Amino acid sequence: MKLQAPQSPKVNLGTLWREFLPLSLSDVTMACGDPMMTTTLAHLPDAQINLAAVGTAKSLAIFFESPIIMILHAANALAATQDSRKALWQFTLLVGGGLTFLLSLLGLPMIFNVVGVTLLGIPSAMLATVSQVLLLMGGWPFAIAWRRYFQGLLIYHGQSHAIAKASICRLFTLAVVLTIGFFCKISGGVLAGIALITGVIVEAIVVTIFARWSGATLPPETASKPNLPRNLPQVWKFYLPLANSMMVVWGGRAILISILARAEDGTIAIAAWSAAWGLVLVIANSTRMVQQMVIKYRHQVSDRQLLTFAASVGAVCSSLLLLMSVTPAGDRIIESFIGNDLTLAQSIKPVLTICIIVPLFVALQNATQGFLVSESRTSHVNFSTLLGTGILLIVATFAINQGLNGAIAAAIAMITSMLVEVIYLMWQRVATSQ
């Protein structure tokens, strides 16, 4: 029996929220791994060095992951035909394998000791730990590419609960590894690397099993559609702007770490920004799946209703971050999050306050990107990230050159860049509708 994507006769705001929540849960559980890991490292020896090193290594790993982040979006958009699926699967294996090879190569000490100092400006005390984490995370891009392909098929077939369950398995695995490593007194950097790669491999396996059990991998009824890519070269053409946009985003954030390393409070700035941004992302990442809802329901729901939905999601999540930033309960969460390091705690609090608006911006950013992806206008998504990343790095560099605290400079730069990007994407959406 061939499986078709379910079609809803009536889609309202409640319907969007009900389907969105399990998808959001998958992002929340993934983001929860960062504060869980930060808390563990904060209670192990050499906390600041390990936190800064792991934050740097993960930024680099995500940069190598970035070209395949949008495979989820592509799998959702191309799942309607077997030819498109097959071509995207070939692309997934090819690119995921190549990026894993390159990340492992970078992690070799003889290479990273040169690149880390000359290009990234990483303090020498962090070099060995960052290199260790990168080598442990070598398989990260391939596992992420595999996972996101099957997630896209599950979303297309309305199996969002399966994605949430797989993410919970990943978080549980991460917690188990961190707990065992903590009591065995494993070095913080090594423990983080093992926990990260183990968690994502488990999630990739589980999401594949769910996709097969649910029938999402069965051939669709439609053999081909003229507006969808049908072979590997066509998938490359469709996907290249999306891949480039993510490379720009995460490349910019990796460069941001190197800019922070040159601040007067270099090591503490990297540690504080990595820890604070991890907390922000726990909430902000819960809004990202609005893009999948826009792509799936673009032709069933008005643009106004989809934007209202995205804004409501962003507003709820920004309110949660506000409560964390201004209430005594939020202070206790931060204190338990980073242990007894008062210097780190004092650096994190103002960053959280500045970043209150981030969840709303992330929701609007993803929604407006979804409009453009659904129209195959991926080049505009690419340009918006180029614009936003340029603003991010310029503002951060200027602020640090003016002697501003490194973590606060990063927060201001991030807010400014996201605002510019949302304005550009909104403008493109309005231009399309006219």
pLDDT single digits (tens) 251-270: 787 788 888 888 777 777 88
Range of the domain at 397: 13-433
Domain count, the chain: 1
Question: What is the predicted pLDDT for the residue at 390?
Answer: 92
Of the chain, the end-to-end C-alpha distance in Å amounts to: 42
- Helix/strand/coil for 231: coil
Contact between 117 and 130 under an 8 Å Cβ cutoff? The reply is: no
Q: In whole angstroms, what is the distance from residue 356 CA to residue 325 CA?
A: 8
The secondary structure of 411-426 as a DSSP string is HHHHHHHHHHHHHHHH
The answer to the question of residue 7 being in a domain is no
Q: In whole angstroms, what is the distance from residue 250 CA to residue 256 CA?
A: 9
The answer to the question of residue 164 being in a domain is yes
Contact between 212 and 154 under an 8 Å Cβ cutoff? The reply is: no
The answer to the question of residue 401 being in a domain is yes
Both tokens assigned to 238 = 């469709």
The answer to the question of residue 313 being in a domain is yes
- pLDDT tens digits, one per residue of 257-312: 888 888 777 777 887 887 788 778 878 878 888 888 888 787 778 888 889 999 99
- Helix/strand/coil for 294: helix
The answer to the question of residue 5 being in a domain is no
The answer to the question of residue 427 being in a domain is yes
In this prediction, residues 388-404 reach a mean pLDDT of 90
For the chain, helix, strand, coil in percent to 5 are 80, 0, 20
- How high is the mean pLDDT of the chain? 83
The answer to the question of residue 1 being in a domain is no
- pLDDT tens digits, one per residue of 48-83: 788 888 888 888 888 888 888 888 878 887 887 888
**In one letter, which amino acid is 29?**
T
Taking alpha carbons only, the member of 312, 310, 318, 328 closest to residue 283 is: 318
pTM of the full predicted structure?
Answer: 0.72
